[in-house]
């Protein structure tokens, strides 16, 4: 097209838009009112389940992320660099923690802060290690480490996808993403030594006592645990319901507004000792555990829980989508 004709076309378009905007001026008040009400509904970026799935695959490809192994160290490096590449201010928290059987585990909590100056903050967390034992599987597999595609990697995958959006569009509040280590090294059923309390969640226990910044505070936290299982359901987890009911209601309401009613069930589920307990106990931050819970199974969890079946085959993008969209809606609507 030659230049003069293109110019005339543009001029025509400009005139048309001018006419149409003049024409609507008699409705100015209603238009403004509509704008005011719409202004309160922020644009939430579109969560991509494909992207989250890829981040899960990458973690699982290292092999089981059992503390003190090469796969664990390599995956820790990947997670630190990925969160850094998504523009977060990074904190690398190394910790020697002691396992139920007296081993020193070289743990690493990986933390990325968005808008670190903001006073109003929301904490998002998941554990990145995987269990050294398939102790809910057949006996011959009890000492085999698991991929932990769902138990571990799924929560981290969803949070990495959220981090990608946080870099592109900042919400009104500051966000801290914490990948806790050594959550899943808890005392196994087959152990015949003396029973010990608090053997799970060693990374979050350490962080709770010594946070990445002194006196760290957040309005509330959201923990993602086993958020990728096919046909997963999320019930009101007991400890969260007692200590973080306000945030919990906000999350389940957001999920229902988005239509994810078959995933987010507004009924009481079991109570779980998970990282959110220590976030609340040591930092007094109400923290909600969005955890795959199955009321019809013996152990209360997904059929692949602590079995060799917890691999990429049990991950469903639709579940990741429901959880990712919901968490994004909550944080982008926080004022």
Q: How far apart are the first and last CA of the chain?
A: 49
Q: Lay out the site mask for ligand AHN across 220-239 (x = CB under 6 A, - = otherwise).
A: -----x--------------
Only one of the segments 38-46, 58-66, 108-116, 270-278 lies at the binding site for ligand AHN (rule: CB under 6 A); that segment is: 270-278
Which residues in the 147-186 window bind ligand AHN by CB under 6 A? 151, 184, 186
Residues whose CB falls within 8 Å of the CB of residue 281, separated by 6 or more in sequence, listed in order: 208
The closest of 95, 81, 86, 94 to 113, measured between CA atoms, is: 86
List, in sequence order, every residue forming a beta bridge with 178; answer none if it has no partner: 111, 125
* Cα angle 141, 201, 312; round to 5: 45
186 binds, among Zn ion, ligand AHN, none (CB under 5 to 8 A by kind): ligand AHN
Using CB under 6 A, which of 274, 310, 316, 334 touches ligand AHN?
274
Quote the CA–CA distance of 287 and 224 in Å, as a whole number. Answer: 10
Shortest Å, Cβ 39 to ligand AHN: 40
- On whether the CB atoms of residues 128 and 59 are closer than 8 A, the answer is yes
Determine which residue in the list 137, 184, 310, 334 makes contact with Zn ion, applying CB under 5 A. Answer: 184
- C-beta of 132 vs 324, nearer to ligand AHN: 132
How many residues make contact with ligand AHN (CB under 6 A)? 8
> Which CB atom, from 180 or from 252, has the smaller least distance to ligand AHN?
180
| Buried b / exposed e along 244-261 (16+ C-beta atoms within 10 A) | beebbebbbebbeebebe
Number of amino acids touching Zn ion (CB under 5 A): 3
Residues of this chain that bind Zn ion (CB under 5 A): 131, 151, 184
């Amino acid at each position: 097209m030659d230049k003069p004709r293109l110019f005339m076309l543009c001029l025509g378009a400009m005139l048309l838009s001018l006419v149409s905007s003049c024409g609507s001026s008699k409705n100015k008040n209603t238009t403004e009112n509509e704008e005011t009400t719409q202004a309160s509904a922020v644009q939430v970026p579109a969560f991509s389940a494909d992207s989250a799935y890829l981040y899960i695959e990458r973690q699982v490809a290292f092999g089981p992320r059992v503390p003190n192994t090469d796969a664990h160290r390599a995956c820790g490096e990947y997670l630190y660099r990925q969160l850094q590449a998504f523009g977060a201010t990074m904190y690398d928290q190394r910790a020697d923690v002691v396992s139920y059987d007296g081993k020193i585990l070289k743990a690493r909590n990986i933390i990325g802060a968005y808008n670190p100056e903001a006073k109003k903050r929301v904490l998002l967390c998941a554990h990145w290690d995987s269990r050294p034992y398939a102790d809910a599987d057949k006996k011959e597999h009890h000492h085999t480490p698991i991929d932990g595609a769902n138990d571990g990697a799924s929560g981290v995958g969803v949070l990495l996808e959220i981090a990608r959006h946080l870099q592109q569009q900042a919400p009104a509040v500051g966000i801290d993403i914490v990948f806790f280590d050594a959550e899943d090294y808890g005392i196994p059923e087959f152990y015949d030594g003396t029973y010990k309390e608090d053997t799970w969640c060693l990374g979050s226990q350490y962080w709770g006592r010594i946070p990445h910044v002194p006196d760290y505070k957040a309005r509330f936290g959201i923990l993602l645990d086993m958020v990728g299982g096919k046909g997963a359901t999320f019930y009101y987890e007991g400890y969260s319901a007692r200590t973080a009911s306000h945030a919990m209601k906000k999350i389940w309401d957001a999920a229902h507004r988005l239509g994810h009613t078959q995933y987010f069930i507004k009924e009481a589920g079991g109570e779980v000792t998970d990282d959110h307990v220590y976030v609340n106990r040591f930092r007094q931050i109400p923290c909600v555990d969005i955890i795959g819970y199955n009321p019809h199974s013996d152990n209360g969890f997904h059929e692949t829980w602590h079995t060799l079946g917890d691999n990429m085959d049990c991950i469903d993008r639709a579940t990741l989508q429901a959880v990712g969209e919901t968490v994004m809606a909550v944080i982008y609507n926080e004022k």
